[in-house]
């Protein structure tokens, strides 16, 4: 391999590394856009924003984790939520 070929390869490698950096930056921006889109979607579902949204999602996650640690499966939790929805349909107050 001649010095000329070596220099050409070094230049090609440098160009490829620059493209990789540019693609990684583009990827980072797309990931950030996706995070904002997901936040907006979840915010719309809960009708909450900022810390109130974080608190609601955290509380829900903790409740599900407690139910799972007591031995319930996701299917059982889902069935529980569905049965609660039908039992309380049309009810405006809850008795405890």
Under a CB-based contact definition with an 8 Å cutoff, are residues 68 and 77 in contact? yes
What kind and span of H or E run contains 30?
helix 3-46
Reduced to 3 states (helix: H, G, I; strand: E, B; else coil), residue 87 is helix
In the DSSP assignment, the letter for residue 93 is S
| Predicted pLDDT of residue 91 | 45
CB atoms within 10 A of CB 93: 5
| Predicted pLDDT of residue 93 | 43
Determine the Cα–Cα distance for residues 51 and 37; give it in Å rounded to an integer.
Answer: 17
Q: What is the mean pLDDT of residues 74-87?
A: 79
Q: Are both 4 and 41 inside the same structural domain?
A: yes
Q: Are both 55 and 19 inside the same structural domain?
A: no
Q: Are both 42 and 53 inside the same structural domain?
A: no
Q: Are both 32 and 57 inside the same structural domain?
A: no
Under a CB-based contact definition with an 8 Å cutoff, are residues 10 and 18 in contact? no
Q: Are both 25 and 55 inside the same structural domain?
A: no
Range of the domain at 70: 49-89
Q: Are both 43 and 5 inside the same structural domain?
A: yes
* pTM of the model as a whole: 0.63
- Give the count of domains, the chain: 2
């Amino acid at each position: 391999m001649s010095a000329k070929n070596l220099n050409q390869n070094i230049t090609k490698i440098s160009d490829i590394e620059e493209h990789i950096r540019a693609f990684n930056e583009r990827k980072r921006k797309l990931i950030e856009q996706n995070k904002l889109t997901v936040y907006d979607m979840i915010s719309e579902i809960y009708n909450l924003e900022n810390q109130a949204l974080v608190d609601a999602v955290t509380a829900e996650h903790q409740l599900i984790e407690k139910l799972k640690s007591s031995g319930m499966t996701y299917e059982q939790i889902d069935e529980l939520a569905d049965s609660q929805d039908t039992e309380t349909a049309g009810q405006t107050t809850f008795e405890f």
